[in-house]
Structure 1
Amino acid sequence: MATSVPAFEAYWQATRERLEEGFERALPHFFDRLPAGHLSTVRTVLAGGKRLRGSLVCLLNDALGGDPAAAVPRAMAVECVHAASLIHDDLVDGDASRRNRPATWATEGPRRAVLLADLMFATALQRMVELGRDDGLALAQAIATMAAGAFQEPLEPTDTLHSPGGEGMPYPELIYLKTGVLFGTACRMGALAAGASASVAAHAFEYGARTGEAYQMADDLQDLVGRPPGRPATAAQLALLAPAAWHFCPDLAQAPSPPGPDHAARLRLVLRSAMAAGIEARLQQARAAASQLPGGFLDGLLATAPDHIVAAMAAGAP
């Protein structure tokens, strides 16, 4: 029987609370080289957010019958990698705020922000290596893959706007590197926490990666395609839209400069339909991967969680 939306939301909320308590207890050991003053900075960076990646670690661990305590350090490592990547992103993009509060580089300064992100990457990797070779390798691969993707992004995003064929990474690769790989790694590490085999861990990665790609596509659809009438996109927003446009509708992507309102409206209409179909295709792939995981009392939740995660993003869940 499929798990209802309230059941998923209840699990997610309970898991977030469990992680908040677990993170607070684990933080001094996790970052044992930091004095209390600096530890509070890490605590601030990790605060807030949806905790989706950490919750996926717990979901896979719980579904596969693992010890709940085994998921906490792995979830913390994944959340550290996510938070550190956001520190770098905000600095590179010049974004002065994050989650309705100042970005880390705006409060700590660019130099300290970079060093803090590096510390979080390195510490998360160290702690996972201490847990085991497979955990360390999984996280190292995720960090390396994400970094390779970030390095290939254009220095000026607007360079992608009018380049024939679309300059930069293809959209499917972009959403995998940006979100899919860390969602997948979170699920893989949840399976590892439960002592799963390599084949089960691979199915768990597939489940998470496709869920993450659907989540990123829904985020793009919300931000870039679902704009209110009468509010044209800025050049920067069109630049973010360009990889999706070149992938789904290359004929329309070759827009005049600047694009007229009729052309922009048609582009949004075509993209809305194409991206909605792309989201559903990835959700189907995630469900198929869930069906390959060993049966358990959370089978229904595993099967329906990807849909609810995407729906929660679209609804603006905290």
Structure 2
Amino acid sequence: MDLLEYWFRSRTIIDELVDKFVKDSKDWEVMEMSKYIMRDGKRFRGTLMFLFNGALGGQESEAYAGALATEILHSASLALDDIVDYDEVRRGAKAAWAVYTNRKVIFVSNYLIPTALNIISTYGDKALKISIELWKDTAIGALKDMYGKDSDYLETVELKTASLFKLPAMLSSFSSNRVDLLERLLDAGKDLGIIYQIVDDYVDCVTQDTEKLVGSARQLFNLTSGKVEPFVRQNYERLKNHYLGIIKSLPLTGEYGDWLVALPDFLAFGLLGEAGIKYKMF
């Protein structure tokens, strides 16, 4: 099995966990909207939970709660972002607010967020406390995404995006009983999250009209005076090398080590490939 096959397998498991979670909802309307909000995700973040947990010798079933909670939080954050940004399309279909109205999506998101944190609490008080802090970081990042300075670009993407990459990496230390590795896992998640966002912003900068750029993509464009490629390449290599240093320091088991090493390129080339600009940056 290679990393792509592992991701497909993990995505199937996570989809099943999401379906069960939605069906267990006692309110039909909440169930319907939750299902719509959480539909068709790539499940990258949930897969990170499986990858790090397995690499550290944890049982896969112990990672189910963390993967599900991560995907719930990520989906809720996207639903709220679409309202703020007036984005009418998400994952190839109408955004949730365009189907159910702003008010209903906000109410359901306010249900999903504490529900996810309650799931995380099964890993203990420390895991919950860190998760709450990471969720707060996403809120600060969302503000910086809209109103922050161009010079704060890297801080913005760390807060708004990397926080939900740090989350599953951090939770894997609890699911695998390797809390001694907590800080290193947080750093690894941070590197992956920033890599993901700077490549995603790069894609927007080279495929969209300048006047249509918003949020962190606009910050990146302004920060580099439109010369985004050297900045993204330099930071990609810096973050990737730092990430690989962390991975090599971890006591990994089985073939997971190879998959974790391949993750930065897997994420970056996946985004570039989807946009039809594969290999342009590298």
Q: TM-score scaled by structure 1?
A: 0.80
| 2-structure distance, mates of 1:115, 1:169 | 34
| 2-structure distance, mates of 1:153, 1:213 | 14
Work out whether 1:304 is the aligned partner of 2:275: no
Q: Could you tell me the percent identity over the aligned residues?
A: 23
Work out whether 1:196 is the aligned partner of 2:178: yes
Shift of 1:220: 0.9
CA distance 1:212–1:153, change in 2 (3 Å): closer
Counterpart of 1:61 (choices 53, 64, 69) is: 53
| 1-structure distance, mates of 2:71, 2:204 | 23
Shift of 1:245: 3.8
Q: Which residue of 1 aligns with 2:200?
A: 219
Shift of 1:9: 0.4
RMSD of equivalent CA atoms: 2.1
Query: 2:145–2:156: 8 Å Cα contact kept in structure 1?
Result: no
CA distance 1:74–1:187, change in 2 (3 Å): same
Amino acid at match of 1:309: L
Work out whether 1:13 is the aligned partner of 2:8: yes
Unpaired runs of 5+ residues, structure 1, are 1-5, 161-166, 254-266
Considering fraction of residues, name the structure with more helix: 2
Query: 2:202–2:217: 8 Å Cα contact kept in structure 1?
Result: no
Amino acid at match of 1:301: W
| 2-structure distance, mates of 1:23, 1:241 | 30
Query: 1:71–1:190: 8 Å Cα contact kept in structure 2?
Result: yes
Q: Which residue of 1 aligns with 2:213?
A: 237
> Secondary structure of 1:170's match?
helix
User: Which digits, 9 at most, give the CA deviation of each residue in 1:40-59, with x for residues without a partner?
Assistant: 32122111121000000111
Query: 1:129–1:136: 8 Å Cα contact kept in structure 2?
Result: yes
Shift of 1:69: 1.0
Work out whether 1:150 is the aligned partner of 2:126: no
Query: Equivalences for 1:153-192 in 2 at 5 Å?
Result: 153-154=145-146, 167=149, 170-192=152-174
Query: Equivalences for 1:1-318 in 2 at 5 Å?
Result: 7-29=2-24, 31=25, 34-154=26-146, 167=149, 170-198=152-180, 200-224=181-205, 226-227=206-207, 233-237=209-213, 240-247=216-223, 249=224, 253=225, 267=226, 270-297=227-254, 298-316=256-274
Shift of 1:22: 2.6
| 1-structure distance, mates of 2:267, 2:32 | 30
Shift of 1:168: 5.7
Shift of 1:28: 4.3
Query: 1:58–1:68: 8 Å Cα contact kept in structure 2?
Result: yes
Shift of 1:241: 3.9
